[in-house]
Structure 1
Amino acid sequence: MRIPRFYQPEHFACGETVSLSDDVVQHVCRVLRMKSGELITLFDGQGNEHLCELVDVAKRSANVQVREVTQLSRSSALKVHIGQALSRGERMDYAVQKSTEMGMTSMTPLFTERSEVKLSAERQGKRIQHWQQVAISACEQSLRNEIPEIAAPCLLTDWVQQCDAELKLVLHHHTEQPLAALDAPQSVALLVGPEGGLTEAEVEQAIAAGFKPVAFGPRVMRTETAPVAAQAILQYMWGDLGHAG
């Protein structure tokens, strides 16, 4: 049985007794109903894993004793920064969750000409917090030890000018640019449009900012599918998929 993993953003020493955060207690005590003597793993988001034994388990609190500390990165050497057009509800959650599992480094939600989502300043803060938690949960499940950053939403026109990567790609199904013809980069910026696609003007803005238009096949993918499929290809070609061990 796999040892449950939880994110707690602190680094602990071997032998230290630690109080679990409220979020972790919720899962350990109320959802999983774990008992003293059982093992969990805590990771701090900076590459450190702590194998811990539960002690003093109660309904609303629990302590653990740290049995082993390991520094272990499961992040790809290929850094992928995604500019993801905002979409509604579960579609955006899916893009964040699966992109985290595929190894993204960061994601910036984008307002585009065809975006249907409008966010006030107050709602933006709540949505960023929500998406960051989606990413954390995906890290817990996928054994990632580093947490990808979900940045504040911004305009597509601003992001294409500000993002910094060795290779910049815009998904555009009208191109026949072969990905295999490009030199292997260490970092990629990936621009993904909304459900209705990017406008020609937006594509031209991206190209003017140094983005190369690429297609990952003959079919047009949904906005939440595109970053996942694209990353699978990028990580297979230049990252760590298919190269384990």
Structure 2
Amino acid sequence: MRLFVPEALQAGTELSLPPGAARHAQVRRVQPGDTLRLFDGSGQDWPATVLAVGRSEVRVQLGTPETVQRELPRAVHIALAMPANERMDALVEKATELGVAGVQPLMSQRSVLRLAGERAQRKQQHWQAIAEGACEQCGRARVPAVGAAQDLGTWLAALPPAGASTRLLLSLQPDAQPLALLVPAEASPVLTLSGPEGGLTPDEEAAARRAGFRPVALGPRVLRADTAPLAVLAWLGLQAVA
């Protein structure tokens, strides 16, 4: 069993698992002497031996950390106008499994889901927890960051110059080019931007292009808003092992 522990771990030390991890371990009925694998997001797995299991506490002793390399060779961040209902939950989970480095939720003019204040904070925490759980399942030792929901225009205006990174706008426009023509062979960072169910408005697409995003097409079929970013991630992942 792999469990995420959001604190810096040190070899040979004892610690009480945080509440979420402790509950997970108790549900799995761990006993003293059982072994677990913990990770803190630093890129290592820590073997741990269960010392004691109480009503609300699980104490473990850490062994020697082992470096884990299950990341994509290039950092891929996805920014998207949030899909409605539970689709954002599934997208965060699957994007984490596919190796995303970060997820930036956005609100565009045609967005159905809009967040602000305490509700936005709760959603961010919820999606971050989904990313952590997906890392536990898929074996990643680095947890992608899920950003706070932002207005698309505000986010675009705050972006630094593109530099060596590749910025891709998932678009249905006639001048959109195939993905293979826009992603360089070297492992430079990639940032993708996609719209909501109704797509970005012409003004939003124009603003994205001014910010350095190049329109990319993903084939002859129209993909759902929550499918398109995953298709890019899957393609980049396959290129890494080809």
Match of 1:42 among 20, 38, 42: 38
1:51 alignment partner in structure 2: 47
Q: What does 1:213-224 correspond to in 2, within 5 Å?
A: 213-224=215-226
1:106 alignment partner in structure 2: 102
What TM-score do you get using the length of structure 2 for normalisation? 0.91
Q: Which runs of 5+ in 1 are unaligned?
A: none
Distance 1:217 1:51 in 2: 44
Aligned residue for 2:223, secondary structure, equals coil
Runs of 4+ in 1 over 6 A off after TM superposition: none
**Identity across matched positions, percent:** 38
2:136 alignment partner in structure 1: 140
Asked if the contact 1:78–1:235 (Cα under 8 Å) also holds between the matched residues in 2, the reply is no
- CA root-mean-square deviation: 1.6
Matched, 1:80 2:76: yes
Distance 1:22 1:41 in 2: 16
The alpha-carbon deviation at position 120 of structure 1 amounts to 2.6
Aligned residue for 1:68, secondary structure, equals coil
1:15 alignment partner in structure 2: 12
The alpha-carbon deviation at position 74 of structure 1 amounts to 2.0
Matched, 1:173 2:172: yes
> Which moved further from structure 2: 105-114 or 80-89?
80-89
Give, as a single letter, the amino acid of the residue that structure 2 aligns with 1:222.
R
Distance 1:59 1:13 in 2: 25
Distance 2:202 2:22 in 1: 50
Asked if the contact 2:14–2:60 (Cα under 8 Å) also holds between the matched residues in 1, the reply is yes
The alpha-carbon deviation at position 101 of structure 1 amounts to 1.0
Asked if the contact 2:104–2:147 (Cα under 8 Å) also holds between the matched residues in 1, the reply is yes
Distance 2:127 2:20 in 1: 16
What TM-score do you get using the length of structure 1 for normalisation? 0.90
Quickly say closer, same or farther: Cα 1:34–1:52, change in 2 above 3 A: same
1:67 alignment partner in structure 2: 63
Quickly say closer, same or farther: Cα 1:120–1:178, change in 2 above 3 A: closer
Matched residues, number: 236
The alpha-carbon deviation at position 205 of structure 1 amounts to 1.4
Asked if the contact 2:91–2:230 (Cα under 8 Å) also holds between the matched residues in 1, the reply is yes
2:2 alignment partner in structure 1: 5
Matched, 1:201 2:210: no
Distance 1:14 1:167 in 2: 39
Asked if the contact 2:68–2:140 (Cα under 8 Å) also holds between the matched residues in 1, the reply is no
Distance 2:8 2:116 in 1: 36
1:204-236, CA deviations, whole angstroms, 9 ceiling, x for partnerless residues?
Answer: 111121111011111111111111111111232
Asked if the contact 1:83–1:159 (Cα under 8 Å) also holds between the matched residues in 2, the reply is no
Give, as a single letter, the amino acid of the residue that structure 2 aligns with 1:133.
A
1:65-115, CA deviations, whole angstroms, 9 ceiling, x for partnerless residues?
Answer: 223312323222311121111122310111111111111111111110110
Give, as a single letter, the amino acid of the residue that structure 2 aligns with 1:167.
T
Distance 1:132 1:62 in 2: 23
